[in-house]
Amino acid sequence: MWKKEDPSTPTSPPQPKGDPMPHTNPTHDRAEGTERATIGRSISIHGEVTGDEDLLIQGRVEGSVELRQQAITVGQDGRVTAAISGRIIIVEGQVEGDLKAEEQIILKASAKVQGDITSPRVVLEDGAVFSGGVDMGQPLNKKSGTATATAPNPKKPSEPIPSDSDSGKDGPKKQEAGS
């Protein structure tokens, strides 16, 4: 009735308790088959960070981070004082500096960002703290390569539109300056 375990069957080693990176999902944050470098919690970098692989920042970075065709994640423990350029930028920690992404910028609920954001797609989760400007760009006119925008109608009425009080029904007519 009770099956006894066969000691000759190999068992898998015990899995460590707790997720070493609880707030990042490698399969969600990066494409399959790509490598990701990590700047650990105890690492501090002053200067320029460049490369050709995805990056997870859990430590401190001051200067600039330029991985134009890669995904950059600032983890919950990450503290960045730098301009960041990448394909996709995900912020869970703190960033003081401008963010520029070719595809998308995501500010998670735990994010604190002070700086301008430039990306065609921007996601701000509820709880994210953000101070700065957002530029989502404009579609390009494929023939000329210039941005197409519709300007608001520049015509202004030559005379102000009278209100009810100006019509004399509700009292004396208001006198305009210069009349």
pLDDT in tens, 54-109: 999 999 999 999 998 999 999 999 999 999 999 999 999 999 999 999 999 999 99
| DSSP symbol at 164 | G
Residue 89 placed within a domain:
yes
Full-model pTM? 0.61
Number of domains comprising the chain: 1
Residue 54 placed within a domain:
yes
Residue 95 placed within a domain:
yes
3-state SS, one letter per residue, for 7-71: CCCCCCCCCCCCCCCCCCCHHHHCCCCCCEEEECCCCEEEEEEECCCEEEECCEEEEEEEEEEEE
Residue 145 placed within a domain:
no
Residue 148 placed within a domain:
no
Enclosing domain of residue 100: 26-135
Residue 146 placed within a domain:
no
Residue 31 placed within a domain:
yes
pLDDT in tens, 148-167: 444 444 444 444 545 454 44
Residue 69 placed within a domain:
yes
